[in-house]
Structure 1
Amino acid sequence: MDRDLLSIQQVRDLIKAAKEAQKEFATFSQERIDRVVEAISMEVRKYSERLAKMANEETGFGKWQDKIIKNKFASEFLYDYIKDMKTVGILNQTETLMEVGVPMGVVAALIPSTNPTSTAIYKVLISLKAGNGVVVSPHPNAKNCTIEAVKIMQKAAYAAGAPEGLVGVIEIPSMEGTNALMKSEDTAIILATGGEAMVRAAYSSGRPAIGVGPGNGPAYIEKSANVKETVRKIMESKTFDNGVICASEQSVIVEPSNKEAVIDEFKRQGGYFLSKEESDRLGRFLLRANGTMNPQIVGKDAQTLAKMVGLQIPESVKVLISEQNTVSHTNPYSREKLTTVLAFYVEENAEKACERALELLENEGKGHTLIIHSENKDIIREFALKKPVSRMLVNVGGSLGGVGATTNLAPAFTLGCGAVGGSSTSDNITPMNLINIRRVACGVRELSDFRKNENSNSDTNSVEIENIIRRIIAEYRK
């Protein structure tokens, strides 16, 4: 049978099984759901290193050492955050209003190749915590590691009492199969993390969807910032898993007053400023003729990138930096680069830096993430009020700050971009985004209460009109 047909049939079987299993799972108490979620977390965390190495070997993206951290973040840090959440049954209650958490049904969990195991762990945990079933759709270029992660979680879930079929994974991934999953009437909601085309497909599928667009986070180093610490944080963030997290910095903005200090510090910490010729050569490799980023650059370290385009750089270099003064869709440096490359802009003051950051976000990454390094609270507040982003990070690296690891944002690998970014929410997605809330409301007023007010107003108006008429008649008689 044709591979695409096999994929579609498998999707149909998985959705059917997940729907039936979820009907039973929806009857579970919060305590029974929590036991299943705990069992998955405790089991899959044992495989953080193995899954990290599998992901790195299969995709060629990033660093397996950093992928261990991401797997642990999803299986441990996230679990600690959600474990005490009340998601089903009575959530809140007063004498007149009760709120009841209701699972949505079956979640279609689309997984990117950049974070193939950590995102799978994250989406399965939050889906089940909300009382839902889930069908995982791996990226074809990362299917083996994603399938392995899901199988580990399946085994743990069923051993803990979850009904068979509650967690499914497409083992024959294809575009047709994923489309069938997204368009199925039995899919309650799509949780889409990945490329822009895939997210658009999720929103046009006819089913409810939570999707996120590309990040293109500018990092503004305001003149009051501690340059040494700021550069350290940016370098750590940009080199973490070789820049594949969408909240990572894509450009740096400085002012003339701190330009030289920032450049010197970047050079000391492993940044390499490309010449005009080197920038042009790398730029032609970054951006393909069809206007999309070259997938060969994703998750590559600076040394590998340099070899790909024939650049001679010192062995100590960790990030390639290109000075730029334009922003456009055809300028690859002003767009999202999921690799160890940064654009570098110099603006005359904070106001112009603000405008440049806005221009970069309008070019790509609206609604996603902005980073500012400053000790000036007025400027921080000004940026917060004007920037079209869902998360503004202050004095912290973008990669782990955006996902909630080094900030108090909700831990998540799906980062909403809000309406401005074409997303249905601006949240870091948690189980609370995957439930409906039924509100049970008691009567507190009668229709007669409103009619009394109407009659009262009517009587008052009649008296006022009568008094006016009396005054007019009296004036006329004079």
Structure 2
Amino acid sequence: MNTTETTIRAVVEQVLQQLGSKPATAASKPAPARTSGGEIPVISSRNGAAFSAGSRGSDGVFHSVDDAVAAAGEAFEKFRMRPVSDREKVVQIVKTLCEQQAEELGRLEMEETKIGRLDHKVEKLKIIKLVPGTEFLKPTAYTGDRGLTMIEQAPFGVIGAITPVTHSLPTLAGNVVNMAAAGNSMVFNPHPSGAKIACEGVRRFNREISRAIGIENLVTIIEKPTIESADEIFQHRGVKMLCVTGGPAVARAALAAKKKSVVAGPGNPPVVVDETADIDNAAKCIVAGAAYDNNLLCIGEKEVFAVAPIFDKLMDAVGRHGGFRLNSTQIDALTKLAFAPPKEQGGHAILNKDLVGKDAAVLAQMIGVKVPAGTQLLYGETDTNNPFVPEEQMMPFVPFVRAKNTQHAIELALEFEHGFGHTAIIHSRDMRTTTMMGRLMNTTLFIANGPSMAGLGLGGEGFLSFSVATPSGEGVTTPATFTRSRRFVLADDLRMI
């Protein structure tokens, strides 16, 4: 094993050890539903029971990486010879299943992961229909005196993907739509704490794909993800490309692998609110974005820098839109629960993962506070020394920091985004200020006067994807992200003009 492989393995080991969860196991298997006329059936679990049980290689679920990659490779060789219409069938199967079965699958994900909000788990599956498909693959043609040149977007082959616990099945489903539309097959290594629901989704997708186009194991997954399985996917010669969603360590591991890697890295999205902002709209948007799935979204508002002249008005407005304001004593109590001191001087505060994705009412109860029914978000004034400001905490508490002026607010936003290049938000009616911040932040997503979700086509124009590739630079992924550029040149012929 060379030095690079050793480094990658060490980083992957660090990542998966941080997951702190035992691998998932499967339970009972429902009888396959019958289908007629090409319809995609609603497949319900028996007696509302949990997950299907699969034998080795059953419906795309495998015990070993070698077997999964081999099966996905065989599927790709068949899939690559099929018409684009078969890709469209696969895309529609995934979108339809996610929409039809969102209530059941969302509940199963919530029961397994125990983080976030059930209504948003369901919604995230229903909106998979907004993920782009084959329509994003546009050929380019050049004609002239010397003939015809065509540039097409060709598939890579087997794509290896690492998915997070925060959106286990939605991320996987969105990736399947993008990757299959591009003509690829895939092997997934899910987060151990979301492995059951990820495997169940793969089983259901594969059953319907097999019925529709006669190809098995187009989507494969490791049933019991481990340190070794993640490392094997990164190193496997049969895996031609990687797509990784996770924190800084897993992003570094993917970028160190000797193959093309699309990497959705960490974020700590700041919000700036200046004195020209529509304060009521800003408050409404901050609550909507930060409270979504209890702030599990990587694009979600994590800290707010508001200028002094409107600071108190903004704080009052947030309370009118579903926020509950904590006083300084209560914030200190919550901070002590949420973070342990750094292990070394200058290090990061240590996040209490047991609080990640919990409801605002649960967090409040833990510090002896009872909040009104309907409270979506806790918030309060802090300074920049509070660890809620620099850390991507993923819980429904947002710190508000009082800035001296707009320039100061933007400087703080730049500092605490940490150069991740992920997401930044501003509420301002001054287009010069908005332009200046957008250029300075240089983030993949930059949203003005809307909630963070607007950056993914939810309340703003554009399209959806659950993989936002920041360190590798592809941005919000599409089917084109998972293709190779192929040029075909026909010299001296087809000169039609």
**Alignment partner, residue 11 of structure 2:** none
**Which SS does the other structure have where 2:65 is aligned?**
helix
Query: Match for 1:393 among 422, 436, 447?
Result: 447
Query: Match for 2:253 among 197, 201, 206?
Result: 201
CA distance in 2, matches of 1:272, 1:65: 20
1:380-409 CA-partner distances (Å, limit 9, x unpaired): 1111221131111011111x2233322223
Superposition map of 1:131-150 within 5 A: 131-150=183-202
CA distance in 2, matches of 1:224, 1:336: 28
Query: Match for 2:135 among 84, 87, 107?
Result: 84
| Correspondence 1:235 to 2:293 | no
Change (3 A) 1:261 1:332: closer
| Correspondence 1:322 to 2:380 | yes
TM-fit CA distance, 1:311: 4.1
Please tell me whether the aligned partners of residues 267 and 298 of structure 2 are also in contact (alpha carbons under 8 angstroms).
yes
Q: Give the AA of the match of 1:305.
A: L
**Alignment partner, residue 361 of structure 2:** 303
Larger radius of gyration: 1
Please tell me whether the aligned partners of residues 56 and 62 of structure 1 are also in contact (alpha carbons under 8 angstroms).
yes
Quick one: percent identity of the two aligned structures? Answer: 26
Please tell me whether the aligned partners of residues 219 and 251 of structure 1 are also in contact (alpha carbons under 8 angstroms).
yes
| Correspondence 1:12 to 2:63 | no
More helix by share: 1
Query: Match for 1:283 among 332, 335, 340?
Result: 335
**Alignment partner, residue 170 of structure 1:** 222
Query: Match for 1:43 among 75, 85, 97?
Result: 97
1:301-332 CA-partner distances (Å, limit 9, x unpaired): 111112234445555643222322325xx823
Please tell me whether the aligned partners of residues 87 and 134 of structure 2 are also in contact (alpha carbons under 8 angstroms).
no
CA distance in 1, matches of 2:353, 2:115: 10
Q: Give the AA of the match of 1:117.
A: L
**Which SS does the other structure have where 1:102 is aligned?**
strand
**Alignment partner, residue 483 of structure 2:** 435
Stretch moving more, 117-126 or 304-313: 304-313
| Correspondence 1:414 to 2:467 | yes
1:350-398 CA-partner distances (Å, limit 9, x unpaired): 1111111111112xx6200001111111111111221131111011111
Change (3 A) 1:425 1:162: farther
Change (3 A) 1:390 1:426: farther
**Alignment partner, residue 241 of structure 2:** 189
Change (3 A) 1:388 1:85: closer
Name structure 1 gaps, 5 residues minimum: 418-422, 445-478
TM-fit CA distance, 1:126: 1.0
**Which SS does the other structure have where 1:206 is aligned?**
coil
**Which SS does the other structure have where 1:168 is aligned?**
strand
Q: Give the AA of the match of 2:380.
A: S
TM-fit CA distance, 1:44: 3.4
| Correspondence 1:293 to 2:344 | no
**Alignment partner, residue 421 of structure 2:** 367
CA distance in 2, matches of 1:153, 1:284: 44
Please tell me whether the aligned partners of residues 22 and 133 of structure 1 are also in contact (alpha carbons under 8 angstroms).
yes
**Alignment partner, residue 94 of structure 1:** 142
**Which SS does the other structure have where 1:425 is aligned?**
coil
**Which SS does the other structure have where 1:28 is aligned?**
coil
Q: Give the AA of the match of 1:297.
A: L
TM-fit CA distance, 1:119: 0.8
CA distance in 2, matches of 1:245, 1:331: 19
1:44-89 CA-partner distances (Å, limit 9, x unpaired): 3211111111111111111111111110111x122xx3242336xx
Change (3 A) 1:269 1:40: closer
CA distance in 2, matches of 1:8, 1:313: 46
1:88-126 CA-partner distances (Å, limit 9, x unpaired): xxx121214310221001111211111011111101111
Query: Match for 2:118 among 55, 64, 71?
Result: 64
**Alignment partner, residue 343 of structure 1:** 399
Query: Match for 2:210 among 134, 139, 158?
Result: 158
**Which SS does the other structure have where 1:190 is aligned?**
strand
Please tell me whether the aligned partners of residues 244 and 251 of structure 2 are also in contact (alpha carbons under 8 angstroms).
yes
Please tell me whether the aligned partners of residues 162 and 190 of structure 2 are also in contact (alpha carbons under 8 angstroms).
yes
Please tell me whether the aligned partners of residues 58 and 141 of structure 1 are also in contact (alpha carbons under 8 angstroms).
yes
Q: Give the AA of the match of 1:120.
A: L
TM-score, normalised relative to structure 1: 0.84
Name structure 2 gaps, 5 residues minimum: 1-22, 25-55, 344-348, 493-497
1:138-187 CA-partner distances (Å, limit 9, x unpaired): 21111111111111111111111152222111112112112111211111
**Which SS does the other structure have where 2:340 is aligned?**
coil
| Correspondence 1:377 to 2:431 | yes
**Which SS does the other structure have where 1:337 is aligned?**
coil
Please tell me whether the aligned partners of residues 369 and 389 of structure 1 are also in contact (alpha carbons under 8 angstroms).
yes
| Correspondence 1:274 to 2:322 | no
CA distance in 2, matches of 1:100, 1:388: 30
**Alignment partner, residue 39 of structure 2:** none
Please tell me whether the aligned partners of residues 427 and 449 of structure 2 are also in contact (alpha carbons under 8 angstroms).
yes
